[in-house]
Structure 1
Amino acid sequence: SGALPAHPGEPPHNPGEVAAPPGEVASQAGTVATPLGTLFSCACRDVLGWGFSEGRLEIFHGAGEWLGLRLPHGAAPQVVARLQAVTRGCEAQELALPRGAGGRRGFRVDPSGVVTAVTRFSFAETAGLRPGT
């Protein structure tokens, strides 16, 4: 089992965020551990996606929960590459979608946050939203 060991140095900036040096994501479970114990663990199959920028990685999992990690300079690409290799998740995109006629958003999601249907010719479809994402 691989792990992302959390760095006990600087405090996190946001709730749910921990500081972590580069680590490994195992093919069965992703884990964030500190010298005091495990902070986070989930099956790789439960990883929905991630968002990253230099020094920051957010992992979305389960029924829409997330974990934010602060990473050392240059570490995000290698962690993202491992997530791509061992999960069915993908990079998250933030979309600002206006409501269509009748106040509808033009898409439906299941309880785990996965898009199940997109209305043809809706703002959601035009923006690139597709079922299964």
Structure 2
Amino acid sequence: MSAQGNVNAFAQYPLIASAFVADYYNKMSRNRAEVVNLYHPEAMMTYEGEEYFRRDKVSEKLAKLQFSSCEFRAQTFDAHPVSVNQIFVMITGMLLVDGETNPTRFAQFLTLEVYDFVPPRTEAELGVVSALIRNDIFRLNYG
């Protein structure tokens, strides 16, 4: 069932955001080339003040990041529904790159366009989300 046709999708935005964020950072930590498929073809990304428009440009930027491995530790996230099928998500956390022990803080803001959501059957599950990133703003927080 699509989110646009599902009356409960609007009410389930915290579950949808949680499942998407977990999947995104898992893919980003494991193989960031997989993350590109989570971006809408017309997505816009702002990374450290530089803007990238369209999925192909986002892909180029992600491929050029200057680390070979990373571990994201999302510490907080807040989500708000924007429309029946869009969710705004703010994430803060720590980023460890290339085995470093001193993490760098980060903040990321995503607008998700949700197409489908299968709610979790148990509390241990996150649910299955079919969504794409329309907007992504990422900042490292030094100091």
> How does the TM-score come out when normalised to structure 1?
0.31
> Higher Cα Rg: structure 1 or 2?
1
Structure showing greater relative contact order (alpha-carbon pairs closer than 8 Å, 6 or more residues apart): 2
Instruction: Judging by fraction of residues, say which structure has more strand.
Output: 2
